[in-house]
């Protein structure tokens, strides 16, 4: 398996609000996973078809306060990272 390297993922407040309205248990992580898919698709031609296992950093700016988190995730081949996000009522685990 080829090593995939992804840059830091930015997560604006609007993306967190959208994930909250979609019912995700952790809207910030769900927004980060969705944005990871966007970054991955812009770097790797077949992002969905590739597996990814590792850490990535996402940065937020909420009401003028900056924050950063490191997430570990395992994205199987033929899935998007957002498919691993957990909904408030249950669903997939990270």
Residue range 20-48, pLDDT digits in tens: 999 999 999 999 999 999 999 999 889 99
pTM for this structure?
Answer: 0.86
Q: Is 44 helix (H, G, I), strand (E, B) or coil?
A: coil
H helix intervals, the chain: 13-21, 27-43
What is the DSSP code (8-state) at residue 85? P
Give the bridge partners for 9, in sequence order: 58
Residue range 62-73, pLDDT digits in tens: 788 889 999 998
What is the DSSP code (8-state) at residue 8? P
């Amino acid at each position: 398996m080829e090593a995939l390297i992804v840059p830091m993922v930015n997560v604006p407040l609007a993306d967190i609000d959208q994930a909250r309205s979609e019912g995700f248990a952790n809207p910030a992580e769900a927004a980060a996973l969705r944005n990871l898919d966007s970054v991955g698709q812009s770097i790797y031609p077949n992002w969905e078809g590739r597996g990814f296992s590792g850490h990535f950093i996402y940065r937020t700016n909420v009401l003028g306060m900056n924050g950063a988190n490191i997430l570990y995730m395992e994205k199987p081949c033929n899935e998007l990272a957002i498919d691993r996000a957990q909904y408030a009522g249950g669903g997939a685990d990270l």
